[in-house]
A and B are shown apart, each in its own frame.
Chain A
Amino acid sequence: MKGLRTSIIQEKKRTEFVIMEDYKFLFKVVLVGNAGVGKTCLVRRFTQGLFPPGQGATIGVDFMIKTVEVENEIVKLQIWDTAGQERFRSITQSYYRSAHALILVYDISCQPTFDCLPDWLREIEEYASNKVLRILVGNKIDREDREIPTHVGEDFAQRHGMYFLETSAKEAENVERLFMEIAAELMEQARCKELPRYEQNTTSLNGKTTSIGDAGICGCSRLS
């Protein structure tokens, strides 16, 4: 965070234009997962408070800022909604690296989207920082035709050191909570130990494997 703040202030000195907004924290949140699991709907529900009727599949990456308040602090969430299609995957790789939180989404009524999770995890391992906050989300719990029982998702999350939450973008269930708890958790991390500074120096991520594994255990109970 310190790094970010300094760079903004430098920017400000350089030009009269710059609009320095009044916020303390800015976190980058990236959503991944198969196409059709509801990533875009989750984001739209959270940022615009609606469930979009029949919008097309995401192509490329959509991004937006949502300002929230956590414990009387202004927090900005920079949300990156990626395309799940195989052929666009390369696009998202550079987006993993600077993420503070990664939301991996599957559809609880669609087994194949759950079966793909290991693939997504491999990709996350490869490209994301190992300190990134990882959240597994089973979406569409409003649907009657559930294929993945809650405990199966929960188990998977626990095994891989991820937070876990089930949501419905359609019924607005747990969506606000998902993002708000991410904001709170990241703020907490930022306060205790200062977040890793991804951009400036990748080598500073010196193989320390603390946050995720440790957080995972308590995290699972906390978010789910």
Chain B
Amino acid sequence: MMLAMGRRLKAIECFLRRWVSSRPDPELTALRYNVKRGSYAVPNDTHVAFFEKLLGPGGVITDSQECDAYNVDWLKIVKGSSRLVLRPRSTEEVSAVLRYCDERRLALCPQSGNTSLVGGSVPVFDEIVLSMRLMDRIIHTDELAGVVVCEAGCVLQRLDEHLSGRDLMMPIDLGAKGSCLIGGNVSTNAGGLRLLRYGNLHGNVLGLEAVMANGNVIDCLNTLKKDNTGYHLKHLFIGSEGTLGVVTKLAIQCPNLPKAINVAFLGLRDFKKVLETYRLAKGELSEILSSCEMMDRVSMDIAEQALGLKNPLASENDFYMLIETSGSQLSHDEEKVKAFLEKVMELGIVDDGTVTSDPSKIQKIWEVRERLAEAMSKEHYLFKYDISLPLSEFYSIVAVLKDHLKDCDVRYITGFGHLGDGNLHVQVLTSDYDAKVNARLEPFIFEYTSKMRGSISAEHGIGFKKAKFLRYSKDESAIELMRNMKRAMDPNGILNPYKVFT
């Protein structure tokens, strides 16, 4: 059983080498989206000399080829033209950089693992990239309380490995765990595969340290589970996508590593059955249910074709579900899972499936789900939407889009996602960026989502790509307050400009 616990560790070795889409770099964002540069200073040699002195060897990158790795996003849908990347090693250095930039009105793009799916982590113009990668110390682990304190640049997977040796785990898990950094996760309030069980980062971040635009360090690095003193300022930095400050340290609540994990992978005939299975899973597996994911047939086909992954089932199905349980007693959990499976089969909901507690098989099953974004962007341009919808309307958007795009040159339309969290990822795959498809999709899909009272960005954030559409999910009154907060905390607007707001 010890083996089962480490399943995630092995699972993602492949993500450690950052995969790169085989498609060429995209056109410059500023050109493709016709963006107007803000009135910021242009970084020059004097600035570079200052930063070189401040950050020392390895702290400054100006080589244009090296810079480009920081200019292009993971999906290759946006590209900036920064010629200056800074790599601070401490909070003090971050503070000094920000103070210097604020005084000179130099714009900055804070960057973690650069795994944003909405163009939030790369510059739009020549913003200085502030890479948090070198701030990767794990400062303290409290095994009894289940708290880890670390710097923002720790790779999520490394934290999870560190914790698993202490019978703990990170409360967050996502496909990009091998390259994403915890500071980026927190700054975007990333969701992922464990949200169903452990909740989102607003609950799991106990405290944090952040640097404001003017260089002031805000110390909210509380490690207590309960602390109702004063304003809960940490929340300002969770999910604000680096526009209000740069997160430098974190204290995170870590649940115990489950002793038993079971994964069932199911094949289903229609979406109604998917919903019914979820309903039954909640009822039958309540306290041990830790994930409930779904994907459609096309998603599976693409995973098989693009990455050579294997369908865990021998049959082809219109829908697949991945249901994971995490508990403290394998035999008890197996009993519950088996009873659940018998029930869904007796009711004619599920026709085919496989269930296992074997770590290597669990890993293989998860890999199919976790690498879908990679599979889809490998050979295609990906119009990717991450929306929350009421469950009853969850999948109908795919049919709506198929109809809406029927005269466009679209390769595939796919849907998969965190069913248990009401969060669907909708993808429209084209051979290359296609302005006609773009115009047809946006704002259509946001209008549709808004009409259904859904959210236009469930977990990926607003970034650059969705900034224009914020109003579809936020009332004008809320956006106005956001603007006021931005002005108060970053009056010169140097932090991650062109993102979140337009």
Is A59 touching B273 in the complex (CB atoms < 8 A)? Answer: no
The A-contacting residues of B in range 328-369, CB under 8 angstroms, are: 330-331, 334-335, 338-339, 341-343, 345-358, 360-361
Let me know if A60 and B334 touch, CB within 8 A: no
Q: Is the CB of A63 within 8 A of B345?
A: yes
A15 to B352, CA, bound (A): 23
CB closest chain-A residue, reference B330: A90
From B314, B339, B350, B361, give the contact of A55 (CB < 8 A). B314
> What residues on A are CB-neighbors of B453 within 8 Å?
none
B348:A63 contact, CB within 8 angstroms: no
Instruction: Say whether B279 faces chain A, with CB atoms less than 8 Å apart.
Output: yes
- A4 CB → nearest B CB, Å: 7
In the complex, the answer to whether A61 meets B352 with C-beta atoms within 8 Å is no
Chain B residues near A78 (CB-CB < 8 A): 342, 345-346
What is the CA–CA distance of A87 and B330 in the complex, to the nearest angstrom? 14
| Contact between chains at B354 and A62 (CB < 8 Å) | yes
A170 to B137, CA, bound (A): 58
Residues of A within 8 A of B358 (CB): 59-60, 88
Smallest beta-carbon distance A32→chain B, Å = 15
Q: Is B46 engaged at the interface, CB distance under 8 Å to the other chain?
A: no
Complex Cα distance A90/B351, Å?
Answer: 24
**Nearest residue, chain A, Cβ from B312:** A62
Q: Confirm or deny: A11 has a beta carbon within 8 angstroms of a beta carbon on chain B.
A: yes
Tell me whether A52 and B353 are in contact in the complex, defined as CB-CB below 8 angstroms, given that A63-B345, A78-B346 are known contacts.
no
Is A19 a contact of B349 with CB atoms below 8 Å? Answer: yes
Q: List the B residue with the shortest CB-CB distance to A88.
A: B358
Query: How many of chain A's residues have a CB under 8 angstroms from any CB in B?
Result: 32
> Distance (Å) between the CB of B311 and the closest chain A CB?
11
A91 — which chain B residues lie within 8 A by C-beta?
Answer: 334, 356-357
B483 at the interface (CB under 8 A from A): no
A98 on the interface (CB 8 Å rule)? yes
A189 interface residue, CB < 8 Å from B?
no
A65 contacts across to B, CB distance below 8 A = 345, 348, 350-352
A220 at the B interface (CB under 8 A): no
Provide the bound-state CA to CA distance between A90 and B347, in Å. Answer: 27
Check if B53 is an interface residue, CB within 8 A of chain A. no
Known A20-B348, A65-B352, A98-B342: A60·B361 in contact at CB below 8 Å: yes
- Identity of the chain A residue whose Cβ is nearest the Cβ of B350 in the assembled complex: A65
Q: Given A63-B354, A65-B352, A90-B331, are A28 and B315 neighbors across the interface (CB < 8 Å)?
A: no
Judge if B276 is at the interface, Cβ distance under 8 Å: yes
Task: Identify the closest chain A residue to B273 (Cβ).
Answer: A19
> Is residue B272 contacting chain A, with contact meaning CB distance below 8 A?
yes
Chain B residue, CB-CB nearest to A21: B348
Q: Separation in Å of the B3 CB from the closest CB of chain A?
A: 10
Q: For the complex, is A218 an interface residue (Cβ under 8 Å from B)?
A: no
Cβ contact within 8 Å between B345 and A20: no
Contact of A18 among B276, B351, B354 (CB under 8 A): B276
- Give chain B nearest CB distance to A217 CB in angstroms: 31
Bound-state CA distance A59–B362 (Å) is 10
The answer to whether the Cβ of B398 comes within 8 Å of any Cβ in the partner chain is: no
Docked CA distance A94–B333 (Å): 11
A197 CB–B CB distance under 8 Å: no
Residues of A within 8 Å of B343, CB to CB, are 11
Residues of B within 8 A of A61 (CB): 354-356
**CB of B401 within 8 A of chain A?**
no
Contact of A52 among B279, B314, B338, B351 (CB under 8 A): B314
Contact B314 A19 (CB under 8 A): no
Partner of A64, one of B330, B338, B352, B361: B352
Residue of A nearest to B314 (CB): A44
Contacts of A76 in B (CB 8 A): 348
* Distance (whole angstroms) from the CB of B23 to the closest CB of chain A: 32
Q: How far is the CB of A173 from chain B (nearest CB, A)?
A: 21
A43 closest partner in B (C-beta) = B314
Q: Give the docked Cα–Cα distance between A76 and B352 (Å).
A: 13
* Residue ID in chain A nearest B334 by CB atoms: A94
Would A60 and B272 count as touching, CB distance under 8 A? no
A111 interface residue per 8 A CB criterion: no
Task: Give the Cβ gap from A5 to chain B, nearest Cβ, in Å.
Answer: 10
**Known contacts A19-B347, A20-B347, A91-B334, A63 near B341 by CB under 8 Å:** yes
Partner of B335 from A44, A62, A64, A94 at Cβ < 8 Å: A94
Q: Which residue of B lies closest to A62 (CB)?
A: B354
* B314: A residues at CB distance < 8 A: 44, 48, 52, 55, 62
Kindly state the separation between the CA atoms of A23 and B345 in the bound complex, as whole angstroms: 12
A118 to chain B, nearest CB (A): 25
- Among residues of B, the one whose C-beta sits closest to the C-beta of A81 is B354
Whether A156 sits at the interface, judged by CB under 8 Å, is: no
A116 at the B interface (CB under 8 A): no
B354 touches A60 (CB 8 A): yes
A63 near B355: Cβ-Cβ < 8 Å: yes
Cβ–Cβ < 8 Å partners of B272 in chain A:
17, 19
Q: Report whether B345 and A15 are in contact in the complex, using a CB–CB cutoff of 8 Å.
A: no
Q: Kindly list chain B residues whose C-beta atoms are within 8 Å of the C-beta of A11.
A: 343, 347
Partner of B347, one of A8, A63, A88: A8
A26 within 8 A of B: yes
Cβ of A60 and Cβ of B356 under 8 Å apart? yes
Pair A95/B356 contact, Cβ less than 8 Å? no
In the bound complex, residues from chain B placing their C-beta under 8 Å from that of A28 are 342
Is B55 an interface residue, CB under 8 A from the partner? no
B275 within 8 A of A: yes
Which A residues are in CB contact (< 8 Å) with B351?
A: 64-65
Contact bitstring A1-42, B, C-beta under 8 A = 1, else 0? 000100010010001011111010010100000000000000
**Given A21-B348, A48-B315, A94-B338, list of 11 further CB < 8 A pairs?**
A17-B272, A19-B272, A60-B354, A60-B356, A62-B313, A63-B353, A65-B345, A90-B330, A91-B357, A94-B335, A98-B342
25 contacts between A and B (CB under 8 A): A15-B279, A17-B272, A17-B275, A17-B276, A17-B279, A19-B272, A19-B349, A20-B347, A20-B348, A28-B342, A44-B314, A59-B360, A60-B354, A60-B356, A60-B358, A61-B356, A62-B313, A62-B314, A62-B353, A63-B355, A90-B330, A90-B331, A91-B334, A94-B331, A199-B339
The 8 A-B residue pairs with the shortest CB-CB distance in the complex, in nearest-first order: A60-B356, A21-B348, A59-B361, A64-B352, A62-B354, A17-B276, A59-B358, A65-B351
